[in-house]
Amino acid sequence: MSRRAELLAIYRSLLAAFGPQRWWPARTPFEVCVGAILTQNTAWTHVERAIANLRRERVLGPRKLRRLAPRRLAGLLRPAGYFNVKERRLRAFLDLIHERHGGSIRRLLRQEPVRLREELLGVKGIGKETADSMVLYAAGAPRFVVDAYTHRVLCRHGLAAPGDGYDAVQALFEDALPREARLYNEYHALLVHLGKDYCRSRRPRCESCPLAWHPHEGTT
DNA sequence: TGCCAGGCCGGGT
DNA sequence: ACCCGGCATGGC
């Protein structure tokens, strides 16, 4: 079976089992970007609380958020963990919007995708996964997002090696699959859903897993 | 009660 | 080019 066929088979299995995920779980492109930074090495439920804080305080926009004093912002981010680090990272992102795009998230996002990605990677605290999450889920451009789950899944299938880096894993998907944002969006969302439900438990439900293996087994 | 979650950076080899 | 410690909360 070709790599393309294997990747599509995995995708179809997940889609059949879980149904369309319709990601990213956010109301606006800006909220996607904020969530992408806050969810770094952090459970999504914690991120939701931090976002809820921002919404409650009516500061969930690039200009209003930027006007907050660092202490205040960090306090609102507290439930997401690493709140001091994330305050700086979020602020650096807001500075980019302010300084290079007149405070307009739309202007940031409607750039050519390659250029957008480069610009995001230039921000301290935005790495490849975070940048690609924004490019795919906020700007709608076809960049495959690679996370820990994704890597484990590919290893378990013998499609990637444990030592493979981000770029290598990403290239596997992007070289084998049609470059469609719709597909990349849904595929990544399904992988995360699989990870949440089937990887975390110490006693995984092998019977109910839509794939015939578990991504957490002996591959990290 | 530890271990872990949708990373990333900076410093050391 | 890797490897590692640090960052922090809340759920299981």
Over residues A27-72, the pLDDT tens digits come to 999 999 999 999 999 999 999 999 999 999 999 999 999 999 999 9
- What are A103-155's pLDDT values in tens digits? 999 999 999 999 999 999 999 999 999 999 999 999 999 999 999 999 998 99
Residue A180 pLDDT class (50, 70, 90 cuts): very high
Are A169 and A159 contacting, i.e. CB atoms less than 8 angstroms apart? no
Taking the C-alpha atoms of residue A118 and residue A113, their distance in angstroms, rounded to an integer, is 9
CA–CA gap between residue A95 and residue A28 (Å, rounded): 19
Nearest 5 degrees, angle CA A71-CA A74-CA A75? 85
pLDDT the model gives residue A12? 97
Distance in Å, residue A74 CA to nucleotide C8 C1':
12
Measured CA to C1', the nucleotide nearest A149 is B6
pTM across the whole model: 0.94
Q: Which nucleotide is nearest to A200 (CA to C1')?
A: B4
CA distance A198 to A165: 24
Q: Two tokens at A118?
A: 């480069």
Among the CATH numbers 3.40.309.10, 1.10.340.30, 3.40.50.10440, 3.40.50.300, which is that of A29-137? 1.10.340.30
- Considering only residues 136-175 of chain A, list those whose CB is below 7 Å from strand C: 163, 165
Closest-lying nucleotide for A39 based on CA to C1': B6
Instruction: Give nearest nucleotide to A137 (CA–C1').
Output: B6
pLDDT, residue A196, reads: 83
Q: Is the CB of A4 under 7 A from strand C?
A: no
Q: Which nucleotides of chain C does any protein CB come within 7 A of?
A: 2, 7-11
Residue–nucleotide distance: A43 CA to B6 C1' (Å): 8
**Tokens 């990403």 found at:** A170
Q: How far apart are CA A215 and CA A219, in angstroms?
A: 7
Please report, rounded to whole angstroms, the spatial distance between the CA atom of protein residue A82 and the C1' atom of nucleotide B1.
22
Element (H, E) at A45: helix A44-56
